[in-house]
């Protein structure tokens, strides 16, 4: 199958690489992308082409980018009249997801969410949550690869809910760990905090370098927590909890490169 991917970031490039491994022809659009994107795309075996060619020849489109760019990509692809399967694999709130779907009136929209690391065949599985009328068709694209598709429902929104639920837990505890390390550092008791790593519930407290290690992803995780806050609001739950933790990523992203 001919597939277009937007855009080959750390996750998108590896999802696309697995599609190439499955025998699909995968295209991307180099225009406006940086050197790192070019390097990732080449390593993944993607074919660089103009936007009109990528979308015009595609039977499926995979969108995996930072959440703040997802609706814009959907609008561009929709404006080109795309009529194939559109796999929206970004962490979006119900409102953003609806906006993306509305921008693609002639496409078959599949809701998707990735849980786990970029798929490289490591010990931690990469689960691709999928929902919508063509969820199984989308799942079949990754048959026999390092991606583990999971069809979680036939309604758009189910996959995003599954992804959001895990992201809130996993990245939320990471944000709390960052705050814990910062509080301990303020009082000069970091060694006492990390000494608690012997406890089975210590989790991220085992890594005193965690705040530094998360700076490189904070620019992307911050907007994801904006979407999580709206998702919680929509469900009648405590969206302000996600908004508070979002400030951790705001601070870390502002310190990146310092």
pLDDT digits (tens, 9 = 90+) for 140-161: 999 999 999 999 999 999 999 9
Identify the CATH number of the domain defined by range 2-154. 3.40.50.720
Identify the CATH number of the domain defined by range 162-252. 1.10.1040
Q: For the whole model, what pTM was predicted?
A: 0.93
pLDDT digits (tens, 9 = 90+) for 212-245: 999 999 999 999 999 999 999 999 999 999 999 9
Buried b (16+ CB within 10 A) or exposed e, 98-133: ebbbebbeebbbbbbbbbbebbeeeeeebbbbbbbe
Buried b (16+ CB within 10 A) or exposed e, 179-200: bbbeebeeeeebeebbeeeeee
pLDDT bin (cut points 50, 70, 90) of residue 173 is very high
pLDDT digits (tens, 9 = 90+) for 2-40: 999 999 999 999 999 999 999 999 999 999 999 999 999
pLDDT bin (cut points 50, 70, 90) of residue 257 is very low
Q: What is the rounded average pLDDT for all residues in the chain?
A: 95
- Residue ranges per structural domain of the chain: 2-154, 162-252
pLDDT on residue 258: 43
């Amino acid at each position: 199958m001919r597939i277009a991917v937007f855009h080959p970031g750390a996750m998108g490039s590896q999802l696309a690489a697995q599609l190439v491994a499955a025998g699909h022809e995968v295209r991307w659009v180099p225009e406006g992308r940086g050197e790192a994107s070019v390097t990732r795309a080449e390593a993944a075996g993607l074919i660089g082409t103009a936007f009109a060619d990528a979308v015009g020849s595609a039977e499926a489109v995979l969108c995996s980018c930072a959440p703040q760019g997802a609706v814009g990509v959907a609008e561009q692809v929709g404006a080109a009249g795309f009529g194939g399967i559109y796999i929206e694999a970004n962490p979006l709130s119900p409102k953003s997801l609806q906006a993306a779907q509305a921008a693609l009136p002639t496409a078959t929209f599949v809701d998707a969410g990735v849980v786990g690391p970029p798929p490289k065949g490591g010990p931690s599985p990469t689960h691709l949550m999928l929902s919508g009328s063509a969820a199984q068709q989308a799942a079949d694209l990754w048959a026999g690869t390092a991606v583990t598709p999971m069809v979680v429902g036939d309604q758009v929104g189910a996959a995003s809910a599954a992804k959001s639920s895990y992201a809130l837990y996993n990245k939320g505890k990471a944000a709390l760990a960052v705050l814990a390390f910062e509080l301990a550092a303020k009082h000069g008791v970091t060694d006492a905090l990390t000494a608690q790593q012997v406890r089975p519930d210590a989790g991220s407290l085992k890594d005193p370098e965690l705040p530094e290690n998360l700076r490189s992803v904070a620019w992307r995780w911050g907007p994801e927590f904006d979407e999580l806050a709206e998702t919680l609001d929509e469900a009648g739950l405590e969206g302000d909890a996600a908004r508070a933790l979002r400030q951790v990523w705001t601070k870390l992203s502002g310190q990146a490169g310092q």
